[in-house]
Structure 1
Amino acid sequence: MDSTGEKSSGGGFFSSLASGMRNWGSAVHKSVNGLLGYEGLEVINPEGGTEDAEAEAQRGRWKQEDRDSYWKMMHKYIGSDVTSMVTLPVIIFEPMTMLQKMAEIMEYCHLLDQADECEDPYMRMAYASSWAISVYFAYQRTWKPFNPILGETYEMVNHDGITFLSEQVSHHPPMSVGHSENEHFTYDITSKLKTKFLGNSLEVYPVGRTRVTLKRDGVVLDLVPPPTKVNNLIFGRTWVDSPGEMIMTNLTTGDKVVLYFQPCGWFGAGRYEVDGYVYSAAEEPKLLMTGKWNELMSCQPCDLEGEPLPGTELKEIWRVAATPPNDKFQYTYFAHKINSFDTAPKQLLASDSRLRPDRYALEKGDLSKAGTEKSRLEDQQRGEKRNREAKGDQYSPRWFNLTGEITPTPWGDLEVYEYNGKYTEHRARIDSSNSNDEIGITSIGFNPWQYTNSPAE
């Protein structure tokens, strides 16, 4: 079924659709055979146009000289995980760090509020899984966020009653941890991205653990998202696809949501589409879910064959909010709020991503300064590591603790961090004070190296 409620023919509700899409193939793949030095390099056109590979390869954000230079630097890394081993040019970055990007999942956090308030256990799962899907609209941006510096943080308040905190807890491998909370839920994530560079594309595997606790009934939800592929990194128009399954499990009751992100097919067929079911603990389908991750999600009660129950209708659960027209970085209004000091708490931590001089320079359009500051911060981070190793010091995160728990994921094992509660105490002290200090890029110097000088101590 599509978002208009039209039923697909034959078999179970989604069986013929899913089978057809899987067998049909993916978007048009072409090799750049005529460009000297790029033989066999894959260019993927999601629209399946009539242009030949060379014409498609020349499109996109890169000038020819930049494209050539970048390819010379990157081709030696084909087949490698490039998460932390490559120094990348600032031209491909957006003025946001990975810690801030982690906060984008909170844009539609009201869906978790609705899940917490919901009496129907299956609608609860529909709301929660729609929340998990909603962030993919933001994830389709093709600019790269800055890698956080070890000890860097990001704080956000003034959005639907939540507090949000993320911290970079490891540099090699890069790992980010986040915690968010309001009166309805707590959200905790340990994230370690794993990548594979394929020449003109990048596969991204979300090696992470995401847990949401709904406070009213103490229900704990676990989320396993699909992998993502960034196509046409150097040649052609860059675009993002996330084909595969998203699974959300109610660890308290055993209920489960399984949603299939359709791969982009010929001439864009299936792109953005998401279909699946909410299952009971007995693995019986209770609700069908359908929609597009860049537009909306809906659900409808179904029978044991997955067919819509007679007399029922699709219920819209989530719809993407309006976005700024012609935004340079394809930002949503919420993404701009994330960068803004309007969502910063009083006495912002000096380690906050908003204060990074490279990020701020890029936001203001000064690419030269952004590149210089990025290199300076990376050099300073390497120097801090040498000093720490010379002293025999072991780096410890400030706001999260390593649990010792190792959790398996589809893409590798993960060391789990947990929120230690110290930030809540720190923030309570600040909020109860009479301080009205101005905060901003000019009033606080960026300092993520808090293991030697923490304001919480």
Structure 2
Amino acid sequence: MASKDQKQGGGFFASIASSLSNFGNAMHKSVNGLLGYEGLEVINPEGTAEDAEEEAQRGRWRQEDRDSYWKMMQKYIGSDVTSMVTLPVLIFEPMTMLQKMAELMEYSTLLDKADECEDPYMRLVYATTWFITIYFPYQRPWKPFNPILGETYEMVNHGGITFISEQVSHHPPMSAGHAENEHFTYDVTSKLKTKFLGNSVDVYPVGRTRVTLKRDGVVLDLVPPPTKVNNLIFGRTWVDSPGEMILTNLTTGDKVVLYFQPCGWFGAGRYEVDGYVYNAAEEPKILMTGRWNESMSYQPCDMEGEPLPGTELKEVWRVADVPENDKFQYTYFAHKINSFDTAPRKLLASDSRLRPDRYTLEKGNLSKAGAEKSSLEERQRAEKRSREANGQQFIPRWFDLTDEITPTPWDDLEVYQYNGKYTAHRAAADSSNSIDEVDVRSIEFNPWQYGNSPVV
């Protein structure tokens, strides 16, 4: 949960503090006991030798790898390791952060329902649940690749959505994304801040996330909880996101405050999410409860946060079927966005799918993937030297840096705004009658603005 200082750091966070205090007891009284979630998973938060052995049997970490990595990483304890450390490819998954941003689109029909919904509080139930769905794939313990400056990811062919994301800054690493269909637009500027604690790392989602529902022009703003990656080096690696998620309707002042329970010994409380939809007067209207790896449900409540007589708990979302024993614990949708099935015609050469390190890791060749990763990072450094020597400044293609600085619980954030150019580019590419169609798999990855320019 956010600290007292964080809540007092800005007007928005101060304004919700009183509602959390007033309704916190009711939340735990009515919601936690409502379904009787008592499912326990045997998780030792500290990790054991047996856990480490099981990880080794999965073919990722060998004990000698862990020992060597631990010796290298000890000097960074207490530091932000977002971009200052070169990490071994064996802890990566074959996906970039730009692609991971697109995973949120799997259950986009929830936003379609929010746009169509007449009830302002149910609208927030649908929208908040949509944001919760991303935590199921976020439990994967492997790290996505940091995008190269200028790298992009495009997605079409899913729910009428057009999605574009771009790496807009290298130091600090920042990404921007935009998605749109007939019901909503989604805009995000993302910057991660980390704190390495030895055998764990805290990840703070410094970012601004906005959804606009098109029918009524309602604007929703998200503040997600932080994430903690446990047993990073020793023991079985697992991910938890304890704390508050706050979704605010900036148009009306209504909001949702959900609490993600921390994982205790033997897995007690892990995955559980409880909270309320509040009106602008901070009165609870609908309780929400569930598990972020399984399902979410809702029920109308009274002023004390208790379920209204004559109402029942209704399920609003349940996780889709997933492949069994998948090597990277990917969902079917994760495989889909990692393939060319969701790629548009005339794919940008800067697209993440084309990265040779990502592709090689997907094929299981860790040694070659590591070499490809090092090569890309060196080319990025060389491009920066050349650019600076010529007095050139990197300028993102699809997003513009604004003058807006937005506060978050963890740091101030420079905001990037979608400039609309990709929409025009995609329309032109899709309407082209050129017969010179190129097999996208043959395109060479090329995010560089200077020297060899990407083909667009």
Instruction: Report the TM-score when normalising by structure 2.
Output: 0.89
Give the C-alpha shift of residue 15 in structure 1.
3.2
Which whole-Å CA distance do the structure 1 matches of 2:420 and 2:42 have between them?
A: 46
Q: 2:27 aligns with which of 14, 22, 26?
A: 14
Aligned to 1:4: none
Aligned to 1:227: 226
Give the C-alpha shift of residue 17 in structure 1.
7.8
Please list the CA deviations of residues 197-221 of structure 1 after superposition, one character each: whole Å capped at 9, or x if unmatched: 1110010000000000000000000
Give the C-alpha shift of residue 434 in structure 1.
1.7
Segment of structure 1 superposing worse, 72-81 or 118-127: 72-81
User: Is the CA contact 2:96–2:352 (under 8 Å) kept in the aligned structure 1?
Assistant: yes
Which whole-Å CA distance do the structure 2 matches of 1:323 and 1:293 have between them?
A: 15
Give the residue type in structure 1 aligned to 2:422.
Y
Please list the CA deviations of residues 308-367 of structure 1 after superposition, one character each: whole Å capped at 9, or x if unmatched: 000001111111000001000000000000111010000000000000000000111111
Aligned to 2:162: 163
Give the residue type in structure 2 aligned to 1:60.
E
Give the residue type in structure 1 aligned to 2:299.
Q
Give the residue type in structure 2 aligned to 1:108.
Y
Task: Work out whether 1:242 is the aligned partner of 2:241.
Answer: yes
* Aligned ranges 1:113-132 → 2 under 5 Å: 113-132=112-131
Give the C-alpha shift of residue 59 in structure 1.
4.5
Aligned to 2:328: 329
Q: How has the CA–CA distance of structure 1 residues 422 and 52 changed in structure 2, closer, same or farther, with 3 Å as cutoff? A: closer
Aligned to 1:353: 352
User: Is the CA contact 2:80–2:193 (under 8 Å) kept in the aligned structure 1?
Assistant: yes
* Aligned ranges 1:178-197 → 2 under 5 Å: 178-197=177-196
Give the residue type in structure 2 aligned to 1:316.
E
* Aligned ranges 1:176-325 → 2 under 5 Å: 176-325=175-324
Aligned to 2:81: 82
Task: Work out whether 1:60 is the aligned partner of 2:70.
Answer: no
Q: How has the CA–CA distance of structure 1 residues 67 and 12 changed in structure 2, closer, same or farther, with 3 Å as cutoff? A: closer
User: Is the CA contact 2:92–2:144 (under 8 Å) kept in the aligned structure 1?
Assistant: yes
Give the C-alpha shift of residue 12 in structure 1.
5.1
Give the residue type in structure 1 aligned to 2:73.
M
User: Is the CA contact 2:297–2:315 (under 8 Å) kept in the aligned structure 1?
Assistant: yes
Which whole-Å CA distance do the structure 1 matches of 2:357 and 2:42 have between them?
A: 33
Aligned to 1:133: 132
User: Is the CA contact 1:341–1:439 (under 8 Å) kept in the aligned structure 2?
Assistant: no
Give the residue type in structure 2 aligned to 1:259.
L
Aligned to 2:43: 47
Give the C-alpha shift of residue 450 in structure 1.
3.0
SS at match of 1:424: helix
Cα RMSD after superposing both structures: 1.9
Which whole-Å CA distance do the structure 2 matches of 1:417 and 1:139 have between them?
A: 24
Which whole-Å CA distance do the structure 2 matches of 1:52 and 1:258 have between them?
A: 31
SS at match of 2:358: helix
Q: How has the CA–CA distance of structure 1 residues 315 and 415 changed in structure 2, closer, same or farther, with 3 Å as cutoff? A: same
Give the residue type in structure 2 aligned to 1:439.
D
Please list the CA deviations of residues 53-110 of structure 1 after superposition, one character each: whole Å capped at 9, or x if unmatched: 4444554242121111111111111111101011111111110001000101111011
Task: Work out whether 1:369 is the aligned partner of 2:368.
Answer: yes
Give the residue type in structure 1 aligned to 2:308.
L
Aligned pair count reads 421
User: Is the CA contact 1:58–1:235 (under 8 Å) kept in the aligned structure 2?
Assistant: no
Which whole-Å CA distance do the structure 1 matches of 2:25 and 2:370 have between them?
A: 54
User: Is the CA contact 2:218–2:249 (under 8 Å) kept in the aligned structure 1?
Assistant: yes
Give the residue type in structure 1 aligned to 2:69.
Y
Please list the CA deviations of residues 160-210 of structure 1 after superposition, one character each: whole Å capped at 9, or x if unmatched: 100000000001100000000000000000000000011100100000000
Please list the CA deviations of residues 217-275 of structure 1 after superposition, one character each: whole Å capped at 9, or x if unmatched: 00000000000000001100000000000000000010000000001122211100000
SS at match of 2:440: coil
Which whole-Å CA distance do the structure 2 matches of 1:213 and 1:326 have between them?
A: 37
Q: How has the CA–CA distance of structure 1 residues 270 and 407 changed in structure 2, closer, same or farther, with 3 Å as cutoff? A: same
Give the C-alpha shift of residue 292 in structure 1.
0.3
Aligned to 1:439: 439
Give the fraction of aligned pairs with identical amino acids, expressed as a percent. 79
Q: How has the CA–CA distance of structure 1 residues 52 and 351 changed in structure 2, closer, same or farther, with 3 Å as cutoff? A: closer
Q: How has the CA–CA distance of structure 1 residues 18 and 69 changed in structure 2, closer, same or farther, with 3 Å as cutoff? A: farther
User: Is the CA contact 2:47–2:231 (under 8 Å) kept in the aligned structure 1?
Assistant: no
Give the residue type in structure 2 aligned to 1:286.
K
Give the residue type in structure 2 aligned to 1:205.
Y
Please list the CA deviations of residues 34-53 of structure 1 after superposition, one character each: whole Å capped at 9, or x if unmatched: xxxxxxxxxxx96249x994
Q: How has the CA–CA distance of structure 1 residues 292 and 176 changed in structure 2, closer, same or farther, with 3 Å as cutoff? A: same
Which whole-Å CA distance do the structure 1 matches of 2:120 and 2:378 have between them?
A: 51
Runs of 4+ in structure 1 deviating by more than 6 angstroms, as ranges, are: 17-20
Give the residue type in structure 1 aligned to 2:170.
H
Q: Gaps (5+ residues) in structure 1?
A: 1-10, 21-26, 28-44
Give the C-alpha shift of residue 451 in structure 1.
5.2
Q: Gaps (5+ residues) in structure 2?
A: 1-23, 34-39
Give the C-alpha shift of residue 454 in structure 1.
5.1
SS at match of 1:342: coil
Aligned to 1:413: 412
Which whole-Å CA distance do the structure 1 matches of 2:306 and 2:288 have between them?
A: 11
User: Is the CA contact 1:249–1:257 (under 8 Å) kept in the aligned structure 2?
Assistant: yes
Give the C-alpha shift of residue 114 in structure 1.
0.3
Aligned to 2:150: 151
Give the C-alpha shift of residue 156 in structure 1.
0.3
User: Is the CA contact 1:275–1:290 (under 8 Å) kept in the aligned structure 2?
Assistant: yes
User: Is the CA contact 1:60–1:235 (under 8 Å) kept in the aligned structure 2?
Assistant: no
Which whole-Å CA distance do the structure 1 matches of 2:347 and 2:392 have between them?
A: 27
Which whole-Å CA distance do the structure 2 matches of 1:422 and 1:193 have between them?
A: 26
Aligned to 2:20: none
User: Is the CA contact 1:398–1:451 (under 8 Å) kept in the aligned structure 2?
Assistant: no
Please list the CA deviations of residues 146-171 of structure 1 after superposition, one character each: whole Å capped at 9, or x if unmatched: 11000000000000100000000001
User: Is the CA contact 2:294–2:319 (under 8 Å) kept in the aligned structure 1?
Assistant: yes
